[in-house]
Structure 1
Amino acid sequence: MTKLTKNTLFKAYDSKPETPMDKTTRVVRQMVDEETEQRDARISRLRNARLEREANKPAGGKASEASKSRRSKAASTR
């Protein structure tokens, strides 16, 4: 009987070489992941800027501006 070791007990399977299609898939997935990270960073940066701007803005100013613009549009169409 042969002596059992790591090398003789388990068979070492050689991985098959990467095909051109596998390489393309890997590169495209990497590109898409990078674009997703950039988009998420941009969205969070813009969201934080908007929330900060809204927090610093007085609450009553927004409603009065909207009603003025509606009145002026209605008056100009007549």
Structure 2
Amino acid sequence: MAATKDAFFKPEKISAQDRAKTTTDVARQITEMETAARVSKTARLRQLREAQPIEPKAIRPVRGRKTAPAIWL
């Protein structure tokens, strides 16, 4: 390792505005990457769903309602 000023002394302080800007930029990049991944996944799943054949669902017969027997006293 070469003996330089940076190796022995702390670098200059970064201003709060620069740190906030860096944080904002990184957060936006992460959000954009997640959005792009979600959109591509949605498109891929939509294509797979549309490629499947449509099968008609079986219709179940409607059951009648069961009623209690009438008791006459």
Q: TM-score, normalised by structure 2?
A: 0.56
Is 1:25 the counterpart of 2:48 in the alignment?
Answer: no
- Structure 2: runs of 5+ lacking an equivalent: 55-73
Give the CA deviation at 1:31: 1.1
Considering fraction of residues, name the structure with more helix: 1
Query: Residues 4-60 of structure 1, C-alpha deviation per residue, up to 9 Å, x if partnerless?
Result: xx32xxx424532110111111110121012112101210110111110221146xx
Gaps of 5+ in 1: 1-5, 59-78
**Structure 1 residue runs of 4 or more that deviate by more than 4 Å after TM superposition:** none
Inter-partner Cα distance in structure 1 for 2:39 and 2:45 = 10
Higher Rg: 2
RMSD (Å), alpha carbons: 2.2
**Alpha-carbon distance in structure 1 between the residues aligned to 2:53 and 2:39:** 21
